[in-house]
Amino acid sequence: MKTIVENRDLNEQCAVYTHKSGLKVYVQEKPLYSSAYAIFGTRYGSIDTTFKTDKDADFITVPAGIAHYLEHKLFESEDGDAFTRYAKTGAMANAFTSFDRTCYLFSCSSHFEESFRILLDFVQHPFFTEETVQKEQGIIGQEINMYDDSAPWRVLFNLLGALYHKHPVKIDIAGTVESIAKINAPLLYDCYNTFYNLNNMFICVAGNVQAERVFALTDELLKDCEPVEIIRADVNEPYEIVKNRVEISLPVAVPLFAIGYKEACERPQKTVLQRVCTELVMKMLLGNDTPLYKDLFGSGLINENFGAEYFIGHGYASIIIEGESNQPERVYEAINREIERQRSQGLDKTAFERAKKSMYGGYVSNYNNVEDTVMSMVNAAFLQEGVFDQYNCIKQVTYEQVCARFDEIFDVNNSALSVVWGKQEAR
């Protein structure tokens, strides 16, 4: 089944094809561009450690880090690795595993079809042996140790450990040296056969391509498979945080901080409206045109490396603020004071209009870049939402809806501060 989704405001359209397996293919043609970008993704990330299918009697629990491990191994085959094949087409290839998804991608300025064939081939044909799996343990073990010494990585995961009691989001995406030692070829195949079922996957393409040709290639190259229903175990994460402070020391020039405001997450995912409203509140409180930001920056408490994100996924949600400061406690206190002030006085309607225009402009600018266009489609595909749902929500959201959302978030009594001090500033 093929449909065309149009947005006349943006002068953009997306062709969507539903393959017989249930996989959806999203294509946005940009004939005036010289490049193309493609992603083959699955709804499978580091938090998916306890699961079963509709055909299984019991849940299984697999070692932390196995999704990331599988991503590494999938590039290999009996005939060599996918990067060598891409080198012949001139494409730039990569992959990433996050908390809730794994994506394989390439960009190219020519030979799109040859590169697309490689992508669909190696992702669908795993090849694991005990010898190659064991070899990878040393490589990924080194990667884990490297991240253990990375201040930005540690400040974030220390914060997640302070916020979350049970949810696997607090565990490093790559796992631990101990957990990956338990990974073997049969476990990799079990995870692959569960989460790399085409019904759990999606393909997103943008650039100088023809949608009909992309759809024809997917029909030719996607293998037959029987859909499975994946059931993830409920975590039952409490609303309350674990602790409100965590501090360590590493060799850094300026101390790093991360502040988290934990939110209840009754649904598996937050809705489009909840996400848009939350991001607008964040812009209104923390954006670089706000009084708070100007005061913190002007007083030297923060620098340009200051930002916030709505950190959300299956069963978890937090607002996370990160930056550098010699006095992170004062930054934390100032943010909390501003939250309470805005809560008592009410959000400024002018600030709402300004934030809405900024968010709208940022969304529109995504369509000037093929990579950003694809990532926008990936987010919609992953959440099984419409391609332009976020745009429509930004356009229609009201001041009253944002105020109502503000009442639900930024609980200063359910927040935590993580700091990485320099060695000379150890507390």
Torsion angles phi and psi, residue 224, rounded to 5? -70, 140
CA–CA gap between residue 393 and residue 277 (Å, rounded): 9
Helices (runs of H) and strands (runs of E) counted in the chain: 15, 17
CA–CA gap between residue 317 and residue 311 (Å, rounded): 6
Q: Where are the alpha helices (DSSP H) in 127-210?
A: 130-148, 151-163, 177-180, 185-195
Instruction: Identify the CA nearest to 117 among candidates 127, 128, 106.
Output: 106
As a whole number of Å, the CA-based R_g of the chain is 23
CA–CA gap between residue 161 and residue 243 (Å, rounded): 9
Q: Which two tokens stand for residue 401?
A: 């809806």
Evaluate the CA torsion angle 206, 212, 217, 219 in order and state its sign.
positive
Instruction: Identify the CA nearest to 326 among candidates 257, 260, 261.
Output: 257
CA–CA gap between residue 223 and residue 209 (Å, rounded): 22
Q: Which of 6, 12, 29, 71 is catalytic?
A: 71
**Alpha carbon distances (Å) from 60 to 53, 56, 67, 190, 226:** 10, 9, 14, 10, 21
CA–CA gap between residue 98 and residue 314 (Å, rounded): 12
- Residue matched to tokens 């990974």: 183
Active-site residue, 212 included: no
Instruction: Identify the CA nearest to 410 among candidates 321, 324, 313, 290.
Output: 321
For residue 299, how many other CB atoms are within 10 A of its CB? 12
CA–CA gap between residue 172 and residue 169 (Å, rounded): 8
CA–CA gap between residue 29 and residue 353 (Å, rounded): 32
What is the DSSP annotation of 15-62? Answer: EEEE-TTS-EEEEEE-TT-S-EEEEEEES--TT--EEEETT-SS-EE-
Give the residue numbers annotated as catalytic, written as ranges: 71
